[in-house]
Structure formats: C-alpha cells, structure tokens
C-alpha cells in the first residue's frame, strides 16, 4: 500500500518538532521514499539511535504501509 510522502513528513515533524525534514518519493509510487532529517535531538546519539527515533515516530506506518525508506539523519552544525 503506497504512502504519501507528506504523511511521513508530518509523522516525523510531530515527534521531532524542531527537525528540518524533507521526504521525497523516489519512484513516484509511494513505495520507495527517502527522508532527510536534521534535528538537535540527534546530538550525541549514534546513527542507530537517531534512526530509531525516526522509526518510532513512524510507528505502524513503517511496518504496514511503507515498503522502503532511505533514511539520512544528522544534527545541525553550530557555526
């Protein structure tokens, strides 16, 4: 079942309101998405811990509806 990229973005923003989130539909069919998430909440966390925060935000959507998600996470670099 396809997922709307905007729905994924909304779920991530709800869990990480301070995050900069961009979700792209890689094939235009709602089955293969790419998400770039930059959040201060990731500072000090391993990449796995960062990804867990995002997957937790997606909840059942990741298991039930989303086929594949390329996930890129980082925290803002202070200037």
Q: pLDDT tens for residues 30-40?
A: 888 899 999 99
If one counts the domains in the chain, the total is 1
- What pLDDT is recorded for position 62? 67
CA distances from 57 to 13, 18, 28, 78, 79 (A): 9, 14, 23, 25, 29
Q: Which domain holds residue 31?
A: 5-74
CATH code assigned at 63: 3.30.300.90
pTM of the model: 0.86
Confidence band, pLDDT 50/70/90 cuts, at residue 67: confident
User: Residue range 2-14: average pLDDT?
Assistant: 90
- What pLDDT is recorded for position 29? 82
Q: Is residue 25 within 8 Å of residue 15, measured between CB atoms? A: no
Q: Does any domain span residue 9?
A: yes
CA distances from 14 to 9, 58, 72, 79 (A): 9, 10, 18, 27
- What pLDDT is recorded for position 19? 96
Number of helical (H) and strand (E) elements in the chain, helices listed first: 3, 3
């Amino acid at each position: 079942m396809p997922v709307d990229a905007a729905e994924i973005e909304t779920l991530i923003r709800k869990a990480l309101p301070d995050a900069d989130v961009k979700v792209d539909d890689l094939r235009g069919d709602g089955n293969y998405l790419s998400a770039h998430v930059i959040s201060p909440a990731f500072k000090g966390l391993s990449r796995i811990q960062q990804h867990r925060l995002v997957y937790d935000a997606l909840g059942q959507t990741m298991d039930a509806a989303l086929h594949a998600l390329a996930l890129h996470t980082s925290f803002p670099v202070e200037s």
